[in-house]
Amino acid sequence: MSTRRRWWMALMVVPLVVAACGSPSDRDGGAARDAPPNPTTPPTSTTADVESMPDLVGLSSADAGRRLGELGLGSEWRTVMVRCEDRPGTVVRQSPAPGAAFTGDTQVRLGIGALDLEGFRGPCEPADGDLGPVTGPDAALAREFYRFAADPSLGAPFVDGDVWTGIEDGLAATTVSAAQRADLDAWLLTGEYAEQGGPFSALDVLAGSGGYYELHQGIVGTCPAGDDDPPPDLAGLRAISLTVPEDSIDSCLQWWGVTLFLEGDQIQGVALRIGSP
């Protein structure tokens, strides 16, 4: 995405060139005055094909990118910090504005919403945030864990004692005691993963969703490899997975998943998965 700090509107100047009309020829003296006039050169125009800019605000970055691709338009992207008023990962600003004229040479500038977790974590309570397909008690538990990820002081239904947290099936892992659970640093995982450098945190990834996620039964395999092995210490436990909404991404680089391993209706483990190229 572009790191430009200024937004501006492009002024499109469309030239219009009209050919001058000629006058009838005066050949053959007076006889020519009784004849029909010679045809003149019709006016011509070099006006460029002009269309109206669609409204992209509210679309996911993936949908906005596809729409611009259909229109054959170039684009620049930047991150715009938002809170609960906008869904992270969607267009919150655009230039040219909806309805403005554009041509094939227009460069579209888009601002994509994101939460600045250093300044604001939520929790947000979007009315349309629970995107299924799993509903019922598991959806309520997942929502409670999302709130905890945004604000650990709210608590969540953990088992007594230590909770396992790690990357996939244990590429990196640690345990978090009951006394540490409200400490965000206690959930950090170090190392290299998904062609990125750490630290990584399942809580940070989920908090950054702004409360928009899909909920699935079982372990959702990592994109694109499909790895879905449980950590050995948690094998045999029932699992549910919160993932990025599928219709809001167009590559594995944007994919994430957080799997909760359950002992009854309590959380025993939390595994993070991040997509890679």
Segment 22-73, tens digit of pLDDT: 333 333 333 333 333 443 343 333 344 668 999 999 999 999 999 999 999 9
Averaged pLDDT score across all residues of the chain: 85
What is the separation, in whole angstroms, between the first and last Cα of the chain? 17
267, pLDDT greater than 70: yes
164: left (phi over 0), alpha (psi -120 to 50) or beta: beta
pLDDT for residue 28: 36
pLDDT for residue 244: 97
What CA–CA distance (Å, rounded) separates 10 from 103? 11
Per-residue confidence band for 224, with pLDDT thresholds at 50, 70 and 90: very high
What CA–CA distance (Å, rounded) separates 98 from 52? 7
- Residue 60, phi then psi, degrees to nearest 5: -65, 160
In this structure, of 30-39, 56-65, 87-96, 244-253, the range with the lowest mean pLDDT score is 30-39
Rounded mean pLDDT, 76-102: 96
Please, what are the domains in the chain? 1-116 (3.30.10.20), 130-274 (3.10.450)
